[in-house]
Structure 1
Amino acid sequence: MAHQAAAGADSGDPTVRPQDREFLRDFHHTSRYGATPAGGIDRQAGTAEHGQVRRWFEERAGQLGLSVVTDAIGTIYALREWVPGAPFVLVGSHLDSQPRGGRFDGTYGVVAALHAVAAADAAVSAGLLDPRYNVAAVDWFNEEGARFAPSIMGSSVHAGILDLEVALQTTDPQGVTVAQALESTGRRGVDPAPKAAAYAEIHIEQGRRLERSGVPIGIVDRSWHTQKLLVSVIGEQSHTGATLMADRRDALIAASHVVVAVEEVVEEFEPETIVTSVGKFDVQPNSPIVVPRQVDLVVDLRADRASDVDQARGLLLERLQGIARRRDVEIEAQDFDVRPVQRFPADGVELAEKASRDQGVDSTVLATLAGHDSVPMNRIVPSVMLFVPSADGVSHCEREFTSDEDMVTGLRVLTGVVTRLVAGELADTASGGSDESGGAADDREDGRG
Structure 2
Amino acid sequence: MSPAHAQLFLENFHHVATFGATDANGVDRQAATPEDKLSRDWFAHFARARGWEVRVDGIGNMFALLNWTPGAPYVVIGSHLDSQPLGGRFDGAYGVIAGLHAAAELDERVKSGSDDGSSAVPQFNLAVVNWFNEEGGRFAPSIMGSSVFAGLMDEEGMLCVKDLAGVTVREALESIGYLGTDERPEVAGYAEIHIEQGRILERENLTIGAVDYSWYTQKLDIEVLGEQSHTGATAMADRHDALVAASKLVLLVHDVTQKFDEEAIVSSVGHMTLEPNSPIVVARRVHLVADLRSASPEIVKEARASLIEDIAKIAREHDIRINVNDFDIRDIQYYPENGLELIEKAAVNLGLGVRRMRTMAGHDSVAMNRIVPTVMLFIPSVDGVSHCEREFTTDADMVSGLVTLTAVAWEMVNGALEDEPKDPDLDDVQDQLSQDVSAR
Quickly name the TM-score band, shorter chain normalised.
Answer: over 0.9
Partner of 1:362: 353
Using the TM superposition, give the Cα deviation of residue 163 of structure 1 relative to its aligned residue in structure 2, in angstroms.
Answer: 1.4
Query: Any conservation in 2 of the 1:90–1:135 contact (CA below 8 Å)?
Result: yes
Query: Any conservation in 1 of the 2:153–2:430 contact (CA below 8 Å)?
Result: no
Q: Provide the secondary structure at the position in 1 that maps to 2:433.
A: coil
| Within-5 A mapping of 1:327-366 | 327-366=318-357
| Within-5 A mapping of 1:116-265 | 116-128=102-114, 129-265=120-256
Give the one of 97, 105, 121 matched to 1:111.
97
**Which deviates further from its counterpart, 103-112 or 214-223?**
214-223
Q: Provide the secondary structure at the position in 2 that maps to 1:386.
A: strand
Using the TM superposition, give the Cα deviation of residue 347 of structure 1 relative to its aligned residue in structure 2, in angstroms.
Answer: 1.1
Query: Any conservation in 1 of the 2:327–2:432 contact (CA below 8 Å)?
Result: no
Q: Give the residue type in structure 1 aligned to 2:273.
A: D
Partner of 1:428: 419
| 1:273 correspondence with 2:232 | no
Give the one of 69, 78, 99 matched to 2:85.
99
Distance 2:373 2:318 in 1: 50
Using the TM superposition, give the Cα deviation of residue 430 of structure 1 relative to its aligned residue in structure 2, in angstroms.
Answer: 3.6
Query: Any conservation in 2 of the 1:347–1:426 contact (CA below 8 Å)?
Result: yes
Using the TM superposition, give the Cα deviation of residue 63 of structure 1 relative to its aligned residue in structure 2, in angstroms.
Answer: 2.5
Q: Provide the secondary structure at the position in 2 that maps to 1:445.
A: helix
C-alpha offsets along residues 42-65 of structure 1, whole Å, 9 cap, x if unaligned?
A: 111111110011001111122233
TM-score by length of structure 2 reads 0.95
Q: Provide the secondary structure at the position in 1 that maps to 2:202.
A: helix
Query: Any conservation in 2 of the 1:379–1:443 contact (CA below 8 Å)?
Result: no
Partner of 2:433: 446
Partner of 1:70: 56
Using the TM superposition, give the Cα deviation of residue 101 of structure 1 relative to its aligned residue in structure 2, in angstroms.
Answer: 0.6
Partner of 2:292: 301
- Aligned alpha-carbon RMSD (Å): 1.7
Using the TM superposition, give the Cα deviation of residue 407 of structure 1 relative to its aligned residue in structure 2, in angstroms.
Answer: 0.5
Query: Any conservation in 2 of the 1:75–1:140 contact (CA below 8 Å)?
Result: yes
Using the TM superposition, give the Cα deviation of residue 94 of structure 1 relative to its aligned residue in structure 2, in angstroms.
Answer: 0.4
Partner of 2:117: none
Percent identity between the aligned chains? 54
Distance 2:50 2:432 in 1: 38
Rate the CA distance shift 1:62–1:240 in 2: closer, same or farther, 3 A.
Answer: same
Give the one of 344, 363, 376 matched to 2:367.
376
Using the TM superposition, give the Cα deviation of residue 330 of structure 1 relative to its aligned residue in structure 2, in angstroms.
Answer: 2.2
| 1:385 correspondence with 2:404 | no
Distance 1:219 1:63 in 2: 33
Using the TM superposition, give the Cα deviation of residue 441 of structure 1 relative to its aligned residue in structure 2, in angstroms.
Answer: 8.7
Using the TM superposition, give the Cα deviation of residue 346 of structure 1 relative to its aligned residue in structure 2, in angstroms.
Answer: 0.9
Using the TM superposition, give the Cα deviation of residue 162 of structure 1 relative to its aligned residue in structure 2, in angstroms.
Answer: 1.2
Give the one of 46, 49, 66 matched to 2:32.
46
Distance 1:446 1:300 in 2: 14
TM-score by length of structure 1 reads 0.93
The unaligned stretches of length 5 or more in structure 1 are 1-14
Using the TM superposition, give the Cα deviation of residue 440 of structure 1 relative to its aligned residue in structure 2, in angstroms.
Answer: 10
Query: Any conservation in 2 of the 1:379–1:441 contact (CA below 8 Å)?
Result: no
Query: Any conservation in 2 of the 1:343–1:434 contact (CA below 8 Å)?
Result: no
C-alpha offsets along residues 377-416 of structure 1, whole Å, 9 cap, x if unaligned?
A: 1000000001111111111111110010110111111111
Using the TM superposition, give the Cα deviation of residue 197 of structure 1 relative to its aligned residue in structure 2, in angstroms.
Answer: 0.2
Query: Any conservation in 2 of the 1:207–1:394 contact (CA below 8 Å)?
Result: yes
C-alpha offsets along residues 328-352 of structure 1, whole Å, 9 cap, x if unaligned?
A: 3222211111111111111111111
Using the TM superposition, give the Cα deviation of residue 353 of structure 1 relative to its aligned residue in structure 2, in angstroms.
Answer: 0.9
| 1:58 correspondence with 2:49 | no
Q: Provide the secondary structure at the position in 2 that maps to 1:150.
A: coil
Distance 1:42 1:416 in 2: 32
Using the TM superposition, give the Cα deviation of residue 444 of structure 1 relative to its aligned residue in structure 2, in angstroms.
Answer: 4.3
Distance 2:122 2:41 in 1: 29
Query: Any conservation in 1 of the 2:33–2:172 contact (CA below 8 Å)?
Result: yes
Q: Provide the secondary structure at the position in 2 that maps to 1:41.
A: coil
The unaligned stretches of length 5 or more in structure 2 are 115-119
Query: Any conservation in 2 of the 1:235–1:250 contact (CA below 8 Å)?
Result: yes
Query: Any conservation in 1 of the 2:100–2:128 contact (CA below 8 Å)?
Result: yes
Query: Any conservation in 2 of the 1:116–1:415 contact (CA below 8 Å)?
Result: yes
**Number of equivalent positions:** 431
Q: Give the residue type in structure 2 aligned to 1:72.
A: G
Q: Provide the secondary structure at the position in 2 that maps to 1:68.
A: strand
| 1:399 correspondence with 2:390 | yes
Distance 2:428 2:98 in 1: 27
Q: Provide the secondary structure at the position in 2 that maps to 1:348.
A: helix
Query: Any conservation in 2 of the 1:342–1:434 contact (CA below 8 Å)?
Result: no
Q: Provide the secondary structure at the position in 2 that maps to 1:222.
A: strand
Query: Any conservation in 1 of the 2:215–2:359 contact (CA below 8 Å)?
Result: yes
